[in-house]
Amino acid sequence: MADSKTPDPSSQLPDGTDAQGAVVNMEAYRETVPLWKRAWQHSLTQMILLSIQAFCGPAMSDAITGLGGGGLATPQVSNISTAIRYAMLAVVCFLGGPIVNKIGVKWALVIGSMSFPIQGSAYYCNSKFGNQWYLILSGAISGIGTACWYVAEAGAIMTLAPSGARGKYLALWIVSRNLGQLVGGAINLAKNHQEGADGGVTPDTFIAFVVIESIALPFALLVTPFERVVRSDGTKIVTAETLSTKMEFRRIAKTVTSRLIVLSSGWALWSFFYTGTWSTYLGTYFSVRARALSSLISPFFCIIGCFGLGFILDMKSLSQRRRAQVGLYTVVILNVGVYIWSIVMQAKFNAHNPGHIDWKDGLYAKSFLPYFFVQTTGPLSQSYMYWLLSSFATDAQENVRNGAAFRCIEAVGQAIAYGMNTQTTSNPLIGFCVTFALLGVSLLPMVMLVNTTPDRIPADVVAEEQDAARRKMEGV
């Protein structure tokens, strides 16, 4: 390991500036570095590469789920497989910070992207041959690989963006994840658009998913290490000295017991909890082509909502703490409205079972709209939380650890949600009420956390101090 007091030549830019948190001399950088390399190392390019992987992997997984039980006639086996997947995700994410910081973000993304096609292939085999054991086994296998990707992704999305554009960068990422619903719905609608198609989707549908999931790997290989990234504002990413494996694992206890993670844990548990119940809702009450149409059109409002929140979180006229407060109340109010609507709708369904609703039925619009809006309010909740977490980090490795802890709790919530829905497949009202209650429980701790948001990102302060020290040593 290089002496932390002596700059590592491999970490220096061609203009001689230290890559560890320095402000880059952009004029010299443009003169000495080829255009293709500058474009490749640009923070936005790296965020786009990450977003493409999010589209090919998690977004396709969400698209399969959005078919309603993975497009199966009954969603119970899909819920079991998904519950196992998120249980494995929780375990690996708990250990993910040390693992990713040791092997590097890029290689964690590569390992994860290799596991993406497993889920699609399992649904294909189940649809084609009826072997549900592989569907359940795939939950465990893909859970391990995807956990490595999730931890690396969480660290990256909180680290890549310049401080004044974090909201917009996170909106780009969350929209990419949710565009999978659009593509998945289009694929399924094209193959299952005939009236009366009631049951599982066609096997060919899952071949299309496998192909898209496989595309993530080459884009993961194009990711560059953090120390080589140059942000659009000319800053470098602050990275800490590499720790030993023993020290990394010691940091787990420090991270999970930190005030940041303890106060945000309720929000993390809640933030993805809705997915299991809505998958069950679609599978129980909608025809295959109605599910496909729902998946196709639900992401459109998400794009507007996420970029709208991004602009609020990036407003320079407000302090960072004030932006955090405005963002929290915006997200909470929208979610409360959606869940009240959902509970009322499900109570009506419990009183009068509508059967399988098709898009030509008069009930379709009223029963679909809560799902349409939750596909926006849910992503808003996740995008907001990662913006908030990144507001507290001092370096890239801390972002990875915080992201791993948060993702672990998210996965626990999803495992519980899908496990619960294996027992309540005929009554999503329980899931709606539990999700609404979790939001209420998480709100007070989140208010306490948001009210302590620093007015400046600690990592930015560290970067400025490092740059000032470098300039002083050089006599600038």
pTM equals: 0.80
Q: What is the pLDDT along the chain (476 residues), one digit of tens a residue?
A: 333 333 443 344 444 444 444 677 778 888 888 999 999 999 999 999 999 999 998 888 877 765 655 555 455 677 777 778 888 888 888 888 888 888 888 999 999 999 999 988 888 888 888 778 888 888 888 888 888 898 888 888 888 888 888 898 988 888 888 777 677 667 767 766 666 554 456 777 788 889 999 999 999 999 998 888 988 888 888 776 777 777 888 888 888 889 999 999 999 999 888 877 787 787 778 877 787 777 778 777 888 888 999 999 999 888 999 999 999 999 999 999 999 998 988 888 888 888 888 888 888 888 888 888 888 898 899 899 999 998 888 887 888 888 888 888 888 887 787 777 666 555 788 888 888 999 999 999 999 999 999 988 887 776 666 666 666 776 65
Q: How many CB atoms lie within 10 A of CB 427?
A: 15
pLDDT at 53: 93
Contacts of 430 (CB under 8 A, 6+ apart): 420, 424
pLDDT at 286: 83
Report all structural domains of the chain as residue ranges with CATH numbers, in order of start.
33-226+242-464 (1.20.1250.20)
Q: How many CB atoms lie within 10 A of CB 233?
A: 14
pLDDT at 234: 81
Q: Distance (Å, rounded) from C-alpha 142 to C-alpha 125?
A: 15
Is 355 within 8 Å of 198 (Cβ atoms)? no
- Residue 8's alpha-carbon distances to 2, 12, 16, 56, in angstroms, are 7, 7, 11, 36
CA 319 to chain centre: 26
Q: How many CB atoms lie within 10 A of CB 356?
A: 16
Is 428 within 8 Å of 346 (Cβ atoms)? yes
Cα–Cα nearest to 177, from 333, 66, 339: 66
pLDDT at 74: 54
Phi, psi for 176 (deg, rounded to 5): -60, -40
pLDDT at 104: 86
Q: Distance (Å, rounded) from C-alpha 6 to C-alpha 4?
A: 6
pLDDT at 446: 96
Cα–Cα nearest to 402, from 384, 390, 413: 390
Torsion angle (degrees, nearest 10) of CA 393, 394, 397, 399: 10
Helix runs in 216-317, H state only: 216-221, 245-256, 259-271, 274-285, 288-297, 299-313
Q: Distance (Å, rounded) from C-alpha 89 to C-alpha 298?
A: 26
